[in-house]
Structure 1
Amino acid sequence: MAQTMMKKIVASSACLVVGLTRRTSSRSLVTASKNLNAKKERDLPNEGEITKSVFMSQSTDIYTNLALEDWMYRNMDFTKHHVMMVWRNEPCVVIGRHQNPWLEANLPLLSEKDIALARRNSGGGTVYHDRGNLNVTFFTPRERYDRKYNLELIKRALFRGFGVKSLINERQDIIVRDKYKVSGTAAKLGRLTAYHHCTLLVNANKADLSKALAKREHGIQTNATASTRSEVANLSEVDNRVTVDSLQTAIGYEYLRTAALSLEDGGQNQISKQRGFQFVNPTDDWFPGLAELKNELQTWDWCFGRTPAFTVSRSFPVPAELLAPSKVYSATQELIINMTVENGLIDDVTLNIPPGLVESGFHGEASVITHLKGKRFTSEALSALQEAMLTRHLTKDVKKLDDKEQFVAKCFDQVVNTV
């Protein structure tokens, strides 16, 4: 019976969403947007004319859920209908629109553990998601974007539902026990529509979170937005009654019982006026064009290529056994690698070869360096470097780098993989 009821709810919400998309094509939505934007001020409804829905995504794929956010932001009209979406993901790291993934995430670990990395459309810092996180997105018209309203509503739900006391700090994080962060926040504001989203730590794997976001030696200099590190806690540590499902229900009902523009508590009477909880299935059948948005969010060009320009400089002491044996050097012999990276691609690179390595036979000809320009700042560049060093040998049957070349390749590998 429960399964049948769920199917009915899903079907009803499908009608809602598909109905919206069928009545209004993407072209007419764009036209309507332009017409509305041409007005100096929009006529927005009174509070009593606004209804609310809680959308519950049935996907746990980060790219699908980010695409769903973007689809709703681009296509839905929230003038008289405000929406709160709740969603969760399999393990992943999500960076802000203007961030550098090589700085923010432990990329070798993500690759090893098959943890997805995604870049979202909103700003803000980097977060780790797993099934122990609850993500919440509030959609409104641009003029009615109100981050404080949303956070106060969550704070009130925590207390009403579980007796958990929290506060909102100056960074608009939600804090428990005076110092532990349980929620970060970010937003995207367009000309007509806005959304504010946050992630709540319920029973996330904090060990995996720490490893996935671990800081390492990288030598990167950039103007990209940097994350602020904070001590974190799970809400289940504060009260073991807090689960992702129970928190989703508590915040959902708090949202429905609260007036649309003020924090007035309307109780059950207010809930009865709303559209309620609705399961949504993020597919092209429900949201035409969603797959295209998802595919774009998964590309290397979006996740890495949209990184603001940066430079990287690393130095590596040369092992004594690789130096010219008949020489004594007064200074430490260091190989220095400098790079400029734009759009995730190597734009310029220099190798400063110490005298001890030159005198032992390694020269680092310009032809080796030119092979790197335009290569991705990944192991793709390492492969190009190794190939270039091999092809410079006069003997064509040389298929293995010598000890000095292997050292240079190892140092380069540490640079492009930031370990």
Structure 2
Amino acid sequence: MALVAASKIHNFAQIGLRTLTTKTANVKKTVFISQSTDIFTNLAFEEWLYRNWNFTNQQILVLWRNDPCVIIGRHQNPWVETNVSHLPFITDSGVQLARRCSGGGTFYQDQGNVNATFFTTNYRSNHKHNLEVIIRAIFREYGLKLDISPKENLCLRNSKVSVSAARMGPLNAYHQCALSVNVDKMNLNRALRKFNSGVKSNAPRSTKSKILNLCEENPKINVKGLLSAIGWEYMRTPVNSLKDGGKYLANLQNGFQMVNPTEQWFPGLNAIRENLCSWDWCYGKTPKFTITKFFPVPDQFTNSYNGISGDLSIRMVVEQGRVTDVSLYVPQGLSNSGLSGEANVITSLKNHKFTEDALNSFEWSLCGCDSNLGDDKDKFISECVRQVMTSV
């Protein structure tokens, strides 16, 4: 099947007010099936189409899948939404963390998911219409009836079978729906956080819901069959209504095209992908947040002759993914290195990325030039800092 050449792009400057008067009868539909399973490539392709394509006379549905990954919304906090430090170890190749350009919540994906992204002009965007197309596709092919929740998710028996995200621009818009077909729920639970305490942030948080795989309800449902069913339903459905146009309307469309998102076919794609997979985008775009944790001092230290009392407390402020302020309260007598009260040595963490790597400089400051923390009390202090930075 032919690939789509970037030379077909129309100049947005030529659109003008013509978009407001174009008749829907002239609009042709195309189904792209991405051959990539890399989350950053697929998100870059989504963004490339949004920035460069003219959807005045052509609408596009992109169907795509991903290797194991967690996708967070544009303004979310990855340390709150996911088990960041565990992601590299959940599968043999790890779980990638990606930040979308669109809003919405966090969700885990693997190749047991089907993503359907509907591209239109801004004024033709209709999320409910898109979801109804998917509902009809599943009912027509598998006899399974889904419902639409108030938050525009597809549901079955009070469980979610999909999540949605969307982006609206001056000219173009897209609406993404991710369906759970046969996702690995064990890995999903390992990747996503269930509860967070001690974190203060204005970043939008995801609402945790029960996820149902479509194959649990109907074992005949599989990823390959669902890709085909949604694609054909999309092409047989008119732009401005849900009236079934049948095979006649489907045959008038531009059909299915297998697409390999590469720089050769979509100039500028690599630059978008490079940004989307960068640390500064995935983590550095996180809104400012503050973490406060309290740690009871172990009995083995409180029972000593010097009578240590009170909790060790840590407060960190993180901006753009980097530690900007730290307060560490160490009870009198806990540290043999002389730390007590508000410890200034913790300033060694400032301006470091909010990762375990920052602990190296802190431990060096805690014990001087000796790289080994030989004292149990200092080890306890260091471990408390580590827990703050790895289990937000």
**Into which bin does the TM-score normalised by the smaller protein fall?**
over 0.9
Structure 2 equivalent of residue 119 of structure 1:
99
Structure 1 equivalent of residue 170 of structure 2:
191
**Partner SS for 1:337:** strand
2:180 paired residue among 195, 201, 216: 201
Kept in 1: contact 2:332–2:340 (CA 8 A): no
For residues 399 and 128 of structure 1, the distance between their equivalents in structure 2, rounded to whole angstroms, comes to 38
Runs of 4+ displaced beyond 6 Å: none
1:363 positional shift: 3.0
Kept in 1: contact 2:45–2:261 (CA 8 A): yes
**Partner SS for 2:239:** coil
Correspondences of 1:145-224 after superposition (within 5 Å): 145-176=125-156, 178-224=157-203
Q: Against the structure 1 CA distance between its residues 238 and 359, is the aligned structure 2 distance closer, same or farther, given a 3 Å change threshold?
A: same
Structure 1 equivalent of residue 385 of structure 2:
412
1:248 equivalenced with 2:227 (yes/no): yes
TM-score (norm 1): 0.88
1:368 paired residue among 345, 367, 374: 345
For residues 152 and 274 of structure 1, the distance between their equivalents in structure 2, rounded to whole angstroms, comes to 19
For residues 53 and 367 of structure 1, the distance between their equivalents in structure 2, rounded to whole angstroms, comes to 61
Query: Aligned AA for 1:387?
Result: W
**Partner SS for 2:36:** coil
1:93 equivalenced with 2:70 (yes/no): yes
Query: Aligned AA for 1:138?
Result: F
Once the two structures are superposed, residues 277-315 of structure 1 have per-residue CA deviations (whole angstroms, 9 ceiling, x without a partner) of 100011011111111111111111000000011000011
Structure 2 equivalent of residue 290 of structure 1:
269
Identity of aligned residues (%): 44
1:58 equivalenced with 2:38 (yes/no): no
1:390 positional shift: 2.7
2:8 paired residue among 3, 20, 23: 20
Kept in 2: contact 1:324–1:359 (CA 8 A): no
**Partner SS for 1:318:** coil
Query: Aligned AA for 2:176?
Result: H
1:106 equivalenced with 2:83 (yes/no): yes
User: Runs of 5+ in structure 1 lacking a partner?
Assistant: 1-8
**Partner SS for 1:308:** coil
Kept in 2: contact 1:324–1:356 (CA 8 A): no
Structure 2 equivalent of residue 264 of structure 1:
243
Task: Report the more deviating stretch, 313-322 or 68-77.
Answer: 313-322
TM-score (norm 2): 0.94
Kept in 2: contact 1:335–1:351 (CA 8 A): yes
For residues 109 and 366 of structure 1, the distance between their equivalents in structure 2, rounded to whole angstroms, comes to 30
**Partner SS for 1:415:** helix
For residues 165 and 77 of structure 2, the distance between their equivalents in structure 1, rounded to whole angstroms, comes to 16
Kept in 2: contact 1:100–1:224 (CA 8 A): yes
Structure 2 equivalent of residue 4 of structure 1:
none
Question: How many aligned residue pairs are there?
Answer: 389
For residues 69 and 127 of structure 2, the distance between their equivalents in structure 1, rounded to whole angstroms, comes to 25
Kept in 2: contact 1:389–1:401 (CA 8 A): no
Kept in 1: contact 2:333–2:340 (CA 8 A): no
Query: Aligned AA for 2:357?
Result: E
Task: Report the more deviating stretch, 313-322 or 97-106.
Answer: 313-322
For residues 70 and 341 of structure 2, the distance between their equivalents in structure 1, rounded to whole angstroms, comes to 37
Once the two structures are superposed, residues 15-59 of structure 1 have per-residue CA deviations (whole angstroms, 9 ceiling, x without a partner) of x333314xx5xxxx4xx34x756x6x8434211100000000000
For residues 57 and 249 of structure 2, the distance between their equivalents in structure 1, rounded to whole angstroms, comes to 15
Structure 2 equivalent of residue 343 of structure 1:
320
Q: Against the structure 1 CA distance between its residues 371 and 303, is the aligned structure 2 distance closer, same or farther, given a 3 Å change threshold?
A: same
1:352 positional shift: 1.3
1:381 equivalenced with 2:369 (yes/no): no
**Partner SS for 2:334:** helix
RMSD: 2.0
For residues 147 and 413 of structure 1, the distance between their equivalents in structure 2, rounded to whole angstroms, comes to 43
Structure 2 equivalent of residue 6 of structure 1:
none
For residues 236 and 360 of structure 2, the distance between their equivalents in structure 1, rounded to whole angstroms, comes to 58
User: Runs of 5+ in structure 2 lacking a partner?
Assistant: none
